[in-house]
């Protein structure tokens, strides 16, 4: 009976861990990617405007990642994890 209870807890842990990694890694990656390839490389902006625009992109990506976590937490279907009790 312990395995039935641990399975949903493991799934919740995996989901939260995935979203934590996404919330930490995606804004950092999007900052440097947009700075190097888009704002410095493609558009040829100076150092300070490039950093400001890259930070804005990172903030936007962070909000999307947080929103997806909140959406998943709020609208997660609990009927899949419930077990039948006799």
pLDDT tens, 48-84? 999 999 999 999 999 999 999 999 888 876 555 555 5
Q: Is residue 29 situated within a structural domain?
A: yes
Listed in sequence order, the residues at least 6 apart from 31 whose beta carbon sits closer than 8 Å to its beta carbon are 54, 55, 57, 58
Q: Is residue 18 situated within a structural domain?
A: yes
pLDDT of residue 86: 53
Tokens 């312990």: give the residue.
2
pLDDT of residue 18: 93
Task: Give the other-Cβ count within 10 Å of 81's Cβ.
Answer: 13
Q: Is residue 69 situated within a structural domain?
A: yes
Q: Is residue 84 situated within a structural domain?
A: no
User: How many structural domains compose the chain?
Assistant: 1
What is the separation of C-alpha 21 from the centre of its chain, rounded to a whole number of angstroms? Answer: 7
Q: Is residue 86 situated within a structural domain?
A: no
Q: Give the model's confidence band at 28: pLDDT under 50 very low, under 70 low, under 90 confident, else very high.
A: very high
36-46 average pLDDT score: 91
17-26 average pLDDT score: 94
Q: Is residue 85 situated within a structural domain?
A: no
The H-assigned helical ranges of the chain are: 2-33, 47-75
Domain that holds residue 63: 4-79
Give the residue with greater pLDDT, 85 vs 9: 9
């Amino acid at each position: 009976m312990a395995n039935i209870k641990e399975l949903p807890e493991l799934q919740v842990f995996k989901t939260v861990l995935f979203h934590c990694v996404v919330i930490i890694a995606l804004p950092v990656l999007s900052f440097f990617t947009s700075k190097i390839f888009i704002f410095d490389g493609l558009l040829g902006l100076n150092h300070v405007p490039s950093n400001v625009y890259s930070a804005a992109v990172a903030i936007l990506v962070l909000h999307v990642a947080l929103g997806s976590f909140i959406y998943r937490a709020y609208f997660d279907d609990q009927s899949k994890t419930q077990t039948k009790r006799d």
